[in-house]
């Protein structure tokens, strides 16, 4: 008979404990972008045979460079929407001794969105491509 009094307590406790997973959606989490913001247009401009200066102009400064003798630049683009799944794309650009691109390799985190899908989420600050003159004429 005493166990019958515990049944409602057990049910309420179970509901409260499982409720913790639902309250996670109520907690604010900012969108997080890390690494180099990479666009599809920049990737299309990147070609084997370009110099380091050309790559830096197209892609910006690399996030990492090889520190063990290889001549490799690494670009990482990572997005984590508020309560969404993490997406990450890595680009490794290999140079020869003359500083010319010999190979471009891409890898992604398992289950990541494509670069185009990541850019369509609009969770990062928009990149303004208008010149200062255009902004002055069109307030």
Which one, of 33, 28, 58, 29, lies nearest residue 46 by Cα? 58
Is the pTM above the cut of 0.85? no
Domain hosting 36: range is: 27-120
Q: Helix, strand, or coil here: 76?
A: strand
Determine the Cα–Cα distance for residues 60 and 51; give it in Å rounded to an integer.
Answer: 13
| H/E segment holding residue 44 | helix 40-45
Quote the tokens at residue 119: 């850019």
Quote the tokens at residue 120: 């369509």
| pLDDT for residue 130 | 58
What pLDDT band is residue 4 in, cutting at 50, 70 and 90? confident
| H/E segment holding residue 94 | strand 87-95
* pLDDT (tens digit per residue) in 36-63: 888 888 888 999 999 999 999 999 888 8
* Percentage with pLDDT > 70 across the chain: 77
* Mean pLDDT (whole number) for 103-120: 78
Q: Within a domain: residue 101?
A: yes
* Percentage with pLDDT > 90 across the chain: 22
Q: Within a domain: residue 10?
A: no
Which one, of 72, 40, 78, lies nearest residue 59 by Cα? 40
Q: Within a domain: residue 1?
A: no
Angle at 126 between CA 76 and CA 51, to 5 degrees: 45
Q: Within a domain: residue 135?
A: no
> What total number of domains does the chain contain?
1
| pLDDT for residue 3 | 75
* Mean pLDDT (whole number) for 1-8: 76
CATH number at residue 45: 3.30.1450.10
């Amino acid at each position: 008979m005493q166990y019958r009094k515990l049944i409602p307590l057990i049910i309420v406790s179970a509901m409260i404990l499982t409720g913790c997973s639902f309250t996670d959606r109520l907690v604010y989490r900012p969108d997080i972008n890390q690494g180099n913001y990479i666009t599809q247009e920049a990737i299309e401009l990147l070609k084997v045979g370009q110099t380091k200066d050309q790559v830096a102009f197209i892609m910006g400064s690399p996030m990492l460079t090889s520190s063990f003798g290889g001549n490799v630049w690494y670009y990482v683009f990572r997005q984590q929407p508020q309560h969404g799944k993490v997406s990450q794309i890595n680009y490794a650009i290999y140079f020869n001794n003359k500083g010319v691109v010999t190979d471009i390799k891409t890898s992604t985190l398992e289950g990541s969105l494509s670069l185009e899908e990541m850019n369509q989420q609009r969770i990062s600050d928009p990149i303004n491509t208008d010149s200062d003159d255009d902004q002055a004429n069109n307030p």
